[in-house]
Structure 1
Amino acid sequence: MRVGQAVGYVGPAAHRGFDLTGMAADIAAQDPFLRRVFTFEAPGRSSPYGGFTVDPAGCQYYPLSSLDSPPGRPLAQSADQVAFFLPSGGTTAEPALAPRTHNDYAYQARAAAELVSLTANDVYLAALPAGSDFAFGCPGILGTLSVGGTVVLVEGPGADGCLAAVERERVTITSLEPAAARLWLDLPPRVRADVSSLRLVQIGGGPLDRATAERVGPALGCRLQQVLGTAEGLLTLTRPADPDETVLTTQGRPLSPGDEIRVVDADGVDVPEGEPGRLLARGPRTLRGYYRAPDRNARSFTPDGYFRTGVLARRTLDGGLVVTGHHTDVPSAL
């Protein structure tokens, strides 16, 4: 909130015993930006923060139910303006905000939805945090809503709760990180829910070992899609028509034909095809710089505009990517 100088916050008043409204008050007391806090309560819980209040720092607190739609039509924004910021902290302590524009993200969500043949009959389970790029728009929440499909939100990423939601809501597609996928697969058969509605599971956020990849289809009865998604814009995916070997061993090819990728050594020199190195990306959807982060920008981009993703990878002969890890001299995009 300090980097973005956010003036508003929306969230639950408390969650699992943690006072989120009090947290917002602490932030408002430290910085002059936050001035509007809208909170809501879980069903059946009474709010200790009901009604309108103002704290000593001048921050105003409202119940979310007090909001209504504006009286007139909202002003249209230019398609190339920033729509929102995605957090990109990677493995570092310093967070960064990646600006994404209306046109770049609308393209991403719709193109990814088309790639996996999403329809109004699909049900997407947001098993990962809704604010992550993977769950939000790869095609995720936005892609599903764009075709009239249904989105299911869960309390947390636990395998039991997620699989119960798959059975209850007849989920057809979801996105997981490798560790979560292994938890799903390792549940004993006697407690595993009915997941016959699933047709596709996306796995990304880190390297996926082949042994786990080979278990997805037989155990969950659906197709696997491997993904490399970055808050900064690069998105690669395996395709439904790809051979099994490609799906099991790679993170696919860029979503956009305008994306350019290079794999280089520590000196920025391109490595031979098939050799591992550092992944660089440039394209119409790649950010040109983090928000209010000049020092980070100076080390995150090459002089010719390639983004240093922080990902270690190698390229296959058919243009696919195999992610092998990340390096620490620039923030990781995994």
Structure 2
Amino acid sequence: MQRAWHANYPAGVPHELPPLPYETLGALFEDAFRRYGAREACRYLGHRLTFAAIERAAADFSAYLQSLGLKKGDRLALMMPNVPQYPVAVAAAMRLGLVIVNVNPLYTPRELEHQLKDAGAVAIVVLDVVAGTLAACIAATQLRHVVVARLGDMLPWPKGRIVDFVARRVKKLVPPYRLPGAVAWREALRRGAKGSVAPVPVAGEDLAVLQYTGGTTGIAKGAMLTHRNIVANVLQSELWYAPALARVPPDEQPVIVGALPLYHIFGFTVNMLLAARTGSASLLIVNPRDIPALLAALGRMRFHSFPAVNTLFDVIARHKGAKHVDWSGLKLAVGGGMAVNAATSKRWQALTGLAICEGYGLSETSPVLCCNSVLATGWTGTIGYPLPSTELRIVDEAGEEVAPGERGELVAKGPQVMRGYWRRPAETAEAFTADGWFRTGDIGVMNPDGSFSIVDRRKDMIIVSGFNVYPSEVEAVVTAMPGIAEAAVIGVADGASGEAVKLFVVRGDGAPTEDAIRDFCREKLTPYKRPKLIEFRDELPKSNVGKVLRRLLREDAH
């Protein structure tokens, strides 16, 4: 079916997904192992691991998991940063029909306990650096099996032992913990290597991942993503990115910068799984907050694709060491997880010569729904066009589609949309319209060219004297002012107007005064949108992928 956005698709990108070559993530990995065995799959702390090496480890780990009695549908939690054990564990689990529960390793014991109990996880792979968190709550969970990984496990001897010694004894990264019965990762592989795997039939409609939402709208809940959901989104992303990645020289293996956490659905799909699909190497970054170390890693190899969030792009573009990195190989920089602002885009393009290509998605959509053209030469201020086989609409409160240019809720349909929320039938029902469209909860508009723009989260909208104020609009204005590093806007109670706009500011170099900010806003914003209150902070609260958490700012304000 022809849609308005199809006319602006990059040349060669089909309107619809072709028939899927396979429907399960296990088949995706098997295909990658067969086609790219000798290629580099990931680079980690200077060491190269081939697809064949990942395959061997995954075979051993799947045999170990099956020997424990784990069966199809059981939930396996992964609580690690970007280390090679992650893709190994995922490939092993997909072969057995297990369900991956991605866990943020920075969780507190309370947050971890909730997620493990809600998912009903029976096994977990946890990095020793955060094993103390698990130890503090494991008694309240259903976990029966614990595998403890170390930073040096997948490195050759003696480098791996040295890395572990430094982590434990020098940097003191591993606090004391007690997990009786836990098995070390290396020991699990040794045990698995002695056995074999009985085949497990897995179908596209089977559950593959429980991806928990960030908890910014209440208690974290698991989005049920099937194998077909995620495979479809990997292939949609491959088709959409193809015009840019076709520019990678034929004699170079594509390299993706793996700074996005793999436990976040953005990194899970567009880094780990897309790399396997395309035979790309992932440069695994354990701690993307360590910018000097990240830049040092980038300085040691050519790379071609860099998916990240606005916050990371901005801090790199501002760092003095970034100018020493060779950016000439970069063909694609994809921004997601949060809006890419104009100021960041301008700084990034000045540094690398390449515009950030902004996309949009949610945990519930595997995650990508739409994206700007990968050949765009500058910031557009939109989230781009729906991916192949994806439909978006803007609807009013009654669920009726509104005219282009009018605001309403963004709703979506496509093969990447989740089955529903894990064990939450009422919330699942609320998440979909009566005719089956997924309600994103975002307020947007459809533009004349068929692209879409997000105005804001519905829940974040501020009503000042009956007028709607969208925080992202005010934030975009303020961050365009020289000397402003970051900004966030919330609504606070006001006796006169119902709500008032409160602005939080993180100063940059040459920071303006409060009066200067007010003067700037007076020039750019109509009176009801101007901040009534301004608070300066050293930093803003953020999620694990760098998204500013307005919810926490609202809690602080009350």
TM-score after normalising by structure 2:
0.52
* Secondary structure in structure 2 of the residue aligned to 1:249: coil
Out of 128, 131, 139, the residue aligned to residue 29 of structure 1 is: 139
CA contact (8 A) 2:391 2:414 kept: yes
After superposing the two structures, state which structure 1 stretch, 312-321 or 293-302, moved more: 293-302
Equivalent residue, structure 2, for 1:314: 445
* Secondary structure in structure 1 of the residue aligned to 2:380: helix
Equivalent residue, structure 2, for 1:67: 188
Equivalent residue, structure 1, for 2:117: 2
Change (3 A) 1:21 1:211: closer
* Secondary structure in structure 2 of the residue aligned to 1:328: helix
Task: Please report how far the alpha carbon of residue 262 of structure 1 lies from its aligned counterpart in structure 2 after TM superposition.
Answer: 1.6
Task: Please report how far the alpha carbon of residue 2 of structure 1 lies from its aligned counterpart in structure 2 after TM superposition.
Answer: 1.3
Change (3 A) 1:239 1:13: same
Equivalent residue, structure 2, for 1:181: 313
Q: Distance in 2 between matches of 1:312 and 1:222?
A: 29
Q: Which amino acid aligns with 1:65?
A: R
Task: Please report how far the alpha carbon of residue 102 of structure 1 lies from its aligned counterpart in structure 2 after TM superposition.
Answer: 1.5
Q: Does 1:97 align with 2:222?
A: yes
Change (3 A) 1:190 1:61: closer
Equivalent residue, structure 2, for 1:39: 148
Equivalent residue, structure 2, for 1:88: 213
Q: Which amino acid aligns with 1:11?
A: V
Bigger Cα Rg: 2
* Secondary structure in structure 2 of the residue aligned to 1:128: coil
CA contact (8 A) 1:173 1:201 kept: yes
Q: Which amino acid aligns with 2:404?
A: E
Equivalent residue, structure 2, for 1:155: 286
Q: Distance in 2 between matches of 1:285 and 1:104?
A: 4
CA contact (8 A) 1:163 1:195 kept: no
1:97-246 equivalences under 5 Å are 97-117=222-242, 118=245, 121-137=253-269, 139-158=270-289, 159-188=291-320, 192-233=324-365, 234-242=368-376, 244=377
Question: Which runs of no fewer than 5 residues in structure 1 stay unpaired?
Answer: 15-19
Change (3 A) 1:3 1:40: same
Q: Distance in 2 between matches of 1:163 and 1:199?
A: 18
* Secondary structure in structure 1 of the residue aligned to 2:316: helix
Change (3 A) 1:160 1:307: same
Task: Please report how far the alpha carbon of residue 189 of structure 1 lies from its aligned counterpart in structure 2 after TM superposition.
Answer: 6.1
CA contact (8 A) 1:252 1:320 kept: yes
* Secondary structure in structure 2 of the residue aligned to 1:116: helix
Q: Deviations over 1:153-204 (max 9, x none)?
A: 1122233333322222322111111122111221236865333322211111
Q: Distance in 2 between matches of 1:229 and 1:21?
A: 31
Q: Distance in 2 between matches of 1:189 and 1:312?
A: 38
Q: Distance in 1 between matches of 2:302 and 2:273?
A: 19
Equivalent residue, structure 1, for 2:127: 12
Q: Distance in 1 between matches of 2:426 and 2:204?
A: 28
CA contact (8 A) 1:133 1:229 kept: no
* Secondary structure in structure 1 of the residue aligned to 2:124: strand
Q: Deviations over 1:8-49 (max 9, x none)?
A: 1102112xxxxx323223332113x11111012233335899
Q: Distance in 1 between matches of 2:394 and 2:120?
A: 36
Task: Please report how far the alpha carbon of residue 271 of structure 1 lies from its aligned counterpart in structure 2 after TM superposition.
Answer: 2.6
Change (3 A) 1:190 1:273: closer
Task: Please report how far the alpha carbon of residue 111 of structure 1 lies from its aligned counterpart in structure 2 after TM superposition.
Answer: 2.8
After superposing on structure 2, the runs of 4+ consecutive aligned residues of structure 1 that deviate more than 4 Å are: 46-49, 189-192
RMSD: 2.6
Q: Which amino acid aligns with 2:408?
A: G
Q: Distance in 1 between matches of 2:206 and 2:354?
A: 38
Equivalent residue, structure 1, for 2:516: none
Q: Which amino acid aligns with 1:6?
A: A
Equivalent residue, structure 2, for 1:283: 414
* Secondary structure in structure 2 of the residue aligned to 1:322: strand
Equivalent residue, structure 2, for 1:302: 433
Q: Distance in 1 between matches of 2:297 and 2:456?
A: 31
Change (3 A) 1:170 1:22: same
Q: Deviations over 1:75-124 (max 9, x none)?
A: 23112211112221351341111122222211211331232224771111
* Secondary structure in structure 2 of the residue aligned to 1:169: coil
Q: Which amino acid aligns with 1:172?
A: H
Q: Deviations over 1:276-318 (max 9, x none)?
A: 2221112222123111123322332222222211222211122
Q: Distance in 1 between matches of 2:259 and 2:139?
A: 34
After superposing the two structures, state which structure 1 stretch, 261-270 or 1-10, moved more: 261-270
Q: Which amino acid aligns with 1:113?
A: E
More helix by share: 2
* Secondary structure in structure 1 of the residue aligned to 2:363: coil
User: Number of residues paired by the alignment?
Assistant: 313
Q: Distance in 1 between matches of 2:409 and 2:449?
A: 19
Q: Distance in 2 between matches of 1:241 and 1:54?
A: 51
* Secondary structure in structure 2 of the residue aligned to 1:125: strand
Task: Please report how far the alpha carbon of residue 142 of structure 1 lies from its aligned counterpart in structure 2 after TM superposition.
Answer: 0.8
